[in-house]
Structure 1
Amino acid sequence: MSDRIFAGIWIVLCIGGLFVGWQIQSEYSYEPVGPRPFPMAILGLMLMCAVLLILRHPDVVEWPHRRTLQRLVIMVISLALYAWTFEWLGFPLATTLLTACFGMLFGATIPAALISGVVMGGVLFYSFDRLLDVTLPLGVWLN
Structure 2
Amino acid sequence: MRGDRIFGAVMIVLALGYILTASRIGTSFMSDPVGPRVFPYMVAGVVILCSVSMILRPDPEAEWPAGPMLLQLGIAFAALIGYAFAIKPLGFILPTTFVAGILSWQIGGHPARAAISGVGLGIGLFVLFRVILGLGLRGLPAGWGF
- Would the TM-score normalized by the shorter structure come out above 0.5? yes
In the alignment, structure 1 residue 123 sits paired with structure 2 residue 129: no
Is the 1:87–1:138 Cα contact (8 Å) retained in structure 2? no
The percentage of counterpart residues that share the same residue type is 35
- 1:66-112 deviations in Å (ceiling 9; x for gaps): 10100111111101111111122211221111110011112111122
Is the 1:104–1:113 Cα contact (8 Å) retained in structure 2? yes
Q: List aligned pairs for 1:63-82, cutoff 5 A.
A: 63-82=64-83
Segment drifting more, 1-10 vs 94-103: 1-10
Q: Give RMSD over aligned pairs.
A: 2.6
Which 5+ residue runs of structure 2 have no aligned equivalent? Answer: none
Q: List aligned pairs for 1:49-64, cutoff 5 A.
A: 49-64=50-65
Instruction: Provide closer, same or farther for how the CA distance between residues 23 and 88 of structure 1 changes in structure 2, counting only shifts above 3 A.
Output: closer
TM-score (norm 2): 0.79
Quick one: distance in 1 between partners of 2:61 and 2:76? Answer: 25
Number of residue pairs matched? 142
Which 5+ residue runs of structure 1 have no aligned equivalent? Answer: none
Instruction: Provide closer, same or farther for how the CA distance between residues 24 and 11 of structure 1 changes in structure 2, counting only shifts above 3 A.
Output: same
Quick one: distance in 2 between partners of 1:40 and 1:91? Answer: 26
TM-score (norm 1): 0.80
2:145 maps to 142
